[in-house]
Structure 1
Amino acid sequence: MKYVGGGIAVAACTAVIVTAAVNWRPNLILLVASLLVMGVVWRLKRLSVAAVVLVAALCQLPGLTHGPITSTDAYRYVWDGRVQLSGTSPYRYVPLDDRLAGLRDPVLFPGLRPDQKSGPVQSDIDDPRTRINRPGVPTIYPPVAQAYFTVVAFLTPWSAGTLGLQIAAALIAIALTWLLAVQNPRWAALWGWSPIVALEAGSAAHVDVLAALLIAAAVIIATRRPKLAAVLLGAAGSVKLLPLLLLPAFRGRRPLVAVGTFITSYVPHLVAVGTLVLGFLPGYLTQEGFDDGSTRFAILALLLPPEARQVTAVALALAVATAAFIRARHEPIALTCCWLYGAALLIATPTYPWYGLPLIALAVLARRPEWLAVPIAAYLAYASFGHDIRQGLIQLAAAVIVVIAFTIRHRTTTPKPFDAVPAAHQH
């Protein structure tokens, strides 16, 4: 059965990627594929670490046969790594700046030669001459992400385009599968065999998969190596800022160590470019509507006018953080991190669904499969409505699923379908 199940998982991931490559509207296909994989894992009572990791590797292969599908972020990653290898900070100049013209190539700049002037640059819109998104603004990605881009750029010829990053992301996803499988192979399959992970690692190469690995490692070693766990959390925050939301779940001095790690990672860039190190972050928050609540907080938008959303979101965030700080005293850190991260995504409802990759890993560690509804809903909303505020309807459905599952868990003692099988009894 496990071989049949593995084949079904690979087929489901392939179907999602092929469908998205032809027309990025997976909708029901992604939903059905995700539920199918969950059903397969439910039925598989025993799995070995090797089997889970092998199938996870096979799930990543279809994504490597095609360029990024869900976004063009990977092209910015390639550019940032190349700029750093040239000895220039990616926070200093925008991609269309002619001072970086010598770094252009036909893959990233199909409509602009190295000896051609780019002309006036518009700040925050895409340009048909390059595959890099928002080429008129500096990078938004933090220092640890930049270090990752640089290493991959060093190992990848320019002609390979995003393939080096896709392979790197696939390897990270597989490594995280192994890390989770060592804890419990059956649960790890929910990460390694996930169509979403296949779509966003080997295919889209999103850096969020690196954040997921660092977060998972931090949670796993939190009780044995608390200082190292804090360093890993700070490093995750320096990949993508969202992991810093987990600070309330780490007690004692660990939050200070995590914040210190995060700040330290910025020091070399701060020395080099000063306040330019903020990059496009302020502009991004404004453009995405987080500053005034006009286009974000999609679930709150169903109930509140724009002027009330931001205040309400902040109040909810503070309440959730306080609850996490209190509950972290007596519940497993994986569980606290899971619902804390999931609640943050439901409050802010970011437009880009790959932000949910760390939540999948946390749901596996916490053994709370209901939280997988959040990243699945994010994809359905993204494919159906994009940046439209109506995505809140789908996100609300995910929130209802989580609440119902939470209520059932607290009212029954019946074993759950995904209850852990002790690792010592796995085969």
Structure 2
Amino acid sequence: MIATAAKYRSVSIVFVLLSIFVYYYIGYPLVRTEISLLISLLALGFACFLGLIHLEKQHFFFLAGIAIVFRLVFAGSIPNLSQDFYRFIWDGRMLLEGWNPYLYLPNDLIASGTAPVAEAQELWQGMGNLSASHYTNYPPINQLCFAIAGLFAGKSILGSVIVLRLLIILADIGTLYFGKKLLKRLGLPVHHIWLYILNPFIIIELTGNLHFEGVMIFFLVWSLYLLHKGSWKLAAVVFALSVSVKLIPLIFLPILFQWFTKHKASEVSKKTFAAIWKGMLKLLSFYGIVITTIVLLFLPFISKEFIANYQETVGLWFQNFEFNASFYYIARWIGYETVGWNLIKEIGSITPIIVLIFVAGISLFRNNNNFQKTITACLFGLSFYFFTTTTMHPWYLATLLLLSIFTRYRFPVVWSFVIMFSYSAYQNEGSVENLAFVALEYVIVYWFLVYELFFYPTEKRNVETT
């Protein structure tokens, strides 16, 4: 037994060392146009990730320690798969100088020579014209993180990167803590948490590329834990903090209907009306706390100009930008074939309505009679949005992956590997997408989703464990 355990631990150490090599190479020497090398490194990283979970899933502190080590490998690296962090640093330094970052375009400030931030030229060039020509859309808690980076490293881009990275690593540790507690409360295996915490996609996209979905997810899983615990008022405040990092959790608000009312809409009757109404009052109070907290956080920035700029920027994601889309690309092709031009504005204006109808349907009529089924409904609602959106950047998937660990569905884990195919756009001049890679990505994801929905073993279908 001792010899066998030592053998397994030796194999685990090999997986750890290979993983460190993968993260080091992606964080430092890799050039993002080297797509074949990137995908090969990712494949190796995912193989080690699955191997470590298989061999060490019961050794919590061992895996927690190496999860932190993997993240620290990126400590001194400048992200080379994303340039968003330049805008993060710009916004934080603007805020510290007393300028409202929601009211000024970097392009305008550079052109007029009035940019009030250190290293303005380098940050402007780094963020690129797409970011520099639009108003910022990062909510206030996100802006607070950017300001913290400016406070501790206001004149060093690398210093700011390190501060931002440490914040994201701390958020991941918080997600590990509350995710473990929620899994225990739901009666699920604690080792499910490693599908998120040790996932190379999460480590690379959040810690490596500095995307703040990690901070949003920390607040989200903390809120879910509090909600299941019964502390719904505090859960509402924490949920608002999550929204104030990234807006995406707003899609989950309708899905909480049955958790508060304990009934589907179709079950409303004279006998159930009183109980449902009592739950509805509590739900409306929850909504009220969420909205009030969000408004208070935005209050220092609010003006007519801010509202106009923010609406314009958010609208761009639905009606102007397109990347790594699924059904939208099919609709776009139909538009070219029928009318001869891109119908993104028309499609982008209809899509939010379709998503809202779908989310309302699963909120009111799907059986979400326990917390795990509520989280599964959140998984389906967010999946539908991602499948229909015009823009699906890889890091968006992090929230879906987190939700999946509380369900029996594993298609987000598969997607977390194949979504990295979208980086194939970098091998072309002008970052033109390779639609063959996009098609391969979604064929694999949909195939696995169909399997889990319709061909999953009957005896396991209602069991939320692996």
Normalised to the residue count of structure 1, the TM-score between the two structures is 0.81
Give the SS at the match of 1:89: coil
Return the match for 1:298 from 319, 323, 326. 326
Which residue pairs with 1:122 in the alignment? none
Counterpart amino acid of 1:329?
N
Q: 1:130 to 1:193 in 2, by over 3 A?
A: closer
Q: 1:341 to 1:357 in 2, by over 3 A?
A: same
Give the SS at the match of 1:221: helix
Return the match for 2:31 from 1, 20, 23. 23
Return the match for 1:255 from 258, 273, 287. 287
**Range that drifts further, 198-207 or 257-266:** 257-266
Alignment map for 1:85-100 (pairs within 5 Å): 85-96=96-107, 97=109, 98=112, 100=114
Unpaired segments ≥5 residues, structure 1: 112-126, 421-427
Aligned length: 397
Return the match for 1:141 from 135, 138, 142. 138
> Does the 8 Å CA contact 2:102/2:306 hold for their aligned counterparts?
yes
- Partners in 1 of 2:463 and 2:62 — Cα distance? 21
> Does the 8 Å CA contact 2:324/2:422 hold for their aligned counterparts?
no
Which residue pairs with 2:403 in the alignment? 362
Counterpart amino acid of 1:274?
K
Which residue pairs with 1:377 in the alignment? 418
Q: How far 1:161 sits from its partner (Å)?
A: 3.6
2:305 is the counterpart of 1:264 = no
> Does the 8 Å CA contact 1:200/1:206 hold for their aligned counterparts?
yes
Counterpart amino acid of 2:115?
A
> Does the 8 Å CA contact 2:323/2:391 hold for their aligned counterparts?
no
Q: How far 1:414 sits from its partner (Å)?
A: 4.4
Q: 1:16 to 1:402 in 2, by over 3 A?
A: farther
- Partners in 1 of 2:305 and 2:115 — Cα distance? 24
2:85 is the counterpart of 1:47 = no
Q: If each structure's helix is expressed as a fraction of its own residues, which one has the higher value?
A: 2
> Does the 8 Å CA contact 1:233/1:258 hold for their aligned counterparts?
yes
Q: How far 1:392 sits from its partner (Å)?
A: 4.4
> Does the 8 Å CA contact 2:31/2:80 hold for their aligned counterparts?
no
Give the SS at the match of 1:419: coil
- Partners in 2 of 1:129 and 1:30 — Cα distance? 25
- Partners in 2 of 1:195 and 1:128 — Cα distance? 29
> Does the 8 Å CA contact 1:187/1:367 hold for their aligned counterparts?
no
Give a deviation string over 1:272-319, Cα, whole Å, max 9, x none: x43324546524643x5x227977743232254354744763454134
Counterpart amino acid of 1:75?
Y
2:155 is the counterpart of 1:153 = no
Give the SS at the match of 1:320: helix
Counterpart amino acid of 1:365?
F
Which residue pairs with 1:163 in the alignment? 162
**Range that drifts further, 207-216 or 234-243:** 234-243
Q: 1:84 to 1:293 in 2, by over 3 A?
A: closer
Counterpart amino acid of 2:234?
L
Return the match for 2:68 from 46, 57, 68. 57
2:205 is the counterpart of 1:175 = no
Counterpart amino acid of 2:444?
A
Which residue pairs with 1:196 in the alignment? 201
Normalised to the residue count of structure 2, the TM-score between the two structures is 0.75
2:369 is the counterpart of 1:330 = yes
Q: 1:292 to 1:68 in 2, by over 3 A?
A: closer
Q: 1:10 to 1:370 in 2, by over 3 A?
A: farther
> Does the 8 Å CA contact 1:143/1:238 hold for their aligned counterparts?
yes
Q: 1:318 to 1:130 in 2, by over 3 A?
A: closer
- Partners in 2 of 1:140 and 1:15 — Cα distance? 33
Give a deviation string over 1:251-272, Cα, whole Å, max 9, x none: 22233432333233222211xx
Q: How far 1:146 sits from its partner (Å)?
A: 1.1
Counterpart amino acid of 2:207?
G
Q: 1:315 to 1:201 in 2, by over 3 A?
A: closer
CA-atom RMSD, angstroms? 3.2
Q: How far 1:211 sits from its partner (Å)?
A: 0.9
- Partners in 2 of 1:334 and 1:2 — Cα distance? 35
> Does the 8 Å CA contact 1:374/1:399 hold for their aligned counterparts?
no
> Does the 8 Å CA contact 2:206/2:214 hold for their aligned counterparts?
yes
- Partners in 1 of 2:105 and 2:48 — Cα distance? 43
Alignment map for 1:95-114 (pairs within 5 Å): 95-96=106-107, 97=109, 98=112, 100-105=114-119, 108-110=120-122
- Partners in 1 of 2:434 and 2:237 — Cα distance? 37
Which residue pairs with 2:91 in the alignment? 80
Return the match for 2:382 from 331, 341, 348. 341
Which residue pairs with 2:3 in the alignment? none
Structure with larger Rg: 2
Give a deviation string over 1:132-185, Cα, whole Å, max 9, x none: 862243322111211222233223342224221122212222322233234354
Q: How far 1:195 sits from its partner (Å)?
A: 0.9
Q: 1:15 to 1:283 in 2, by over 3 A?
A: same
Unpaired segments ≥5 residues, structure 2: 1-7, 184-188, 258-282, 336-341
Q: Identity over aligned residues, as a percent?
A: 16
Give a deviation string over 1:63-90, Cα, whole Å, max 9, x none: 2231012211111111111111111111
> Does the 8 Å CA contact 2:71/2:203 hold for their aligned counterparts?
yes
Give a deviation string over 1:359-402, Cα, whole Å, max 9, x none: 22212233532222333333212334756382641234312212
Return the match for 2:248 from 234, 242, 249. 242
